[in-house]
Amino acid sequence: KHILVIPGDGIGPEVTTWGKAVLEKIGQDFGHEFTFDEALMGHAGIEATGNPLPDETLEKAKASDAILFGAIGHIKYDNDPSAKVRPEQGLLKIRKELGLYANLRPIMLFDELLDASSLKPEILKGTDILFFRELTGDVYFGEKKRSEDRNTASDLMIYSRYEVERIAIKAYEAARVRGKRLCSVDKANVLEASRLWREVVQEIAKQYPDVETEHMFIDNAAMQLVKNPKKFDVVLTANLFGDILTDEASQIAGSMGMLASASVGDGTGFFEPIHGSAHDIAGQDKANPLASILSVALMLEISFGLKEEAKKITDAIDKALKDGYRTGDIADANTDKAKILGTTAMG
């Protein structure tokens, strides 16, 4: 299998280094041959070529069997709302070009980290959520406009039936082999795009009578996720709402540094941590590489069907945590100081 590594910005290069290293080790141990290439995206792409998604990167991406991505973004653009070229455009464009319409974000809890969350352990324990976030539609990709006097700005929130159908089917298929419960999140009491979303999900639901369907408004979902995260099994939602809910859920899981995501659809799968580029700690050997390593586990399972190999990775992480090892972001007052590791040591 040929893997394209796209380190991206900030802590991206540090964490993908360890994702890649783990993949090489798995290859050796199980006798698989993984070959690697590397490419630029985001701020790194802009610096080198002026383009957040250089043509070469897109070609390499299309030619690979799976992509391991790091992180994107740079504070420079965040503070300059009028910048025309932005790192994030690279990520949005590759999602669209590769047809990565389904973003899977499993919220899994390592028992050892229950105390790292701001939620009470008894509220958390047993939480196991799989988010299906639509990834190539919504207000992310609808037409953007700025009036000539620059005083009015707009983005079109838009969905078409087939876009909702295809991700709903993926989510229901997953629910069927999990807890058989699916919660679809929208804002159908206000938004027309959400009303279409709800209509389509109601239709698809009929094909899955064995799965219990619930429809929830986004405001309520944002609340319920904190109140009682255990009540969720599969959560299906649109691009923008999914962006918000999964970040919120990451904190429930104790740390963003522990969560991986898989983007799949028409072609090559794309695997990345859900954390961002964290420029404030970049290059300091402080970043938690576990989300990148867990992204590799997701790649093995989802793109290559290698379940045993994936389990070897999650077991190894579990053991490191049980042995008391932590990176700074998941350490707490009770952590043995000597066991707080940098990126390299944890990797």
Ligand X SMILES: CC(C)[C@H](C(=O)O)[C@@H](O)C(=O)O
Q: Least CB distance from residue 216 to its own copies, whole Å?
A: 10
CB of 77 to its own copies, least distance (A): 7
Task: Give the span between the Cα atoms of 128 and 89, in whole angstroms.
Answer: 32
Catalytic residue at 187? yes
Given the complex with its own copies, which of 61 and 256 has the nearer CB atom? Answer: 256
Q: Which is nearer to its own copies, 138 or 233 (CB)?
A: 138
Where on the chain is the footprint of its own copies (CB under 8 A)?
73, 77-79, 81-82, 86, 88, 92, 118-120, 123, 139-140, 142, 144-146, 150-162, 187-196, 198-199, 202, 215, 218-220, 222-228, 240-241, 243-248, 250-252, 256, 276
Q: What is the DSSP letter of 64?
A: S
Q: Is 219 a catalytic residue?
A: yes
Residues 6+ apart with CB under 8 A from 183: 213, 214, 215, 216, 221, 232, 233, 234, 235, 236
Residue 65, annotated as binding a ligand? no
C-beta of 24 vs 219, nearer to ligand X: 219
Catalytic residue among 80, 111, 219, 266: 219
For its own copies, the closer of residues 286 and 311 by Cβ is 286
Instruction: Provide, rounded to whole angstroms, the least separation between the CB of residue 327 and ligand X.
Output: 21
Whether 149 is a known active-site residue: answer no
Is 150 marked within a binding site? Answer: no
Residue count of the chain, please give it: 347
Residue 133 annotated as part of some ligand binding site: yes
Q: What is the DSSP string of 291-326?
A: HHHHHHHHHHHHTT--HHHHHHHHHHHHHHHHTT-E
CA–CA gap between residue 222 and residue 261 (Å, rounded) = 20
> Please, which residue, 234 or 238, has the CB nearer to ligand X?
238
Q: How far is the CB of 148 from ligand X (least distance, A)?
A: 27
| Residue from 247, 285, 286, 318 carrying the catalytic annotation | 247
Residue 115 is labelled as binding a ligand: no
Instruction: Please report, for residues 43, 63, 154, 250, the alpha-carbon distance to residue 265 in angstroms, rounded to integers and kept in the order given.
Output: 26, 15, 28, 23
Say how far apart CA 161 and CA 177 lie, in whole Å.
25
* Cβ at position 42, least distance to its own copies in Å: 11
Within 13 Å and on the Cβ side, how many CA atoms surround 315?
Answer: 7
Nearest CA to 203 out of 189, 218, 184 is that of 184
Residue 326 is assigned to a ligand binding site: no
Interface contacts to ligand X, rule CB under 6 A: 72-73, 88, 91, 189-190, 219, 243
The reply to whether 149 sits in an annotated binding site is no
The partner residues of 260 in beta bridges, in order of sequence, read 273
CA distance 242 to 235: 9
In the annotated binding site for Mg(2+), the residues are: 219, 243, 247
In the annotated binding site, the residues are: 95, 105, 133, 219, 243, 247
Active site residues: 140, 187, 219, 243, 247
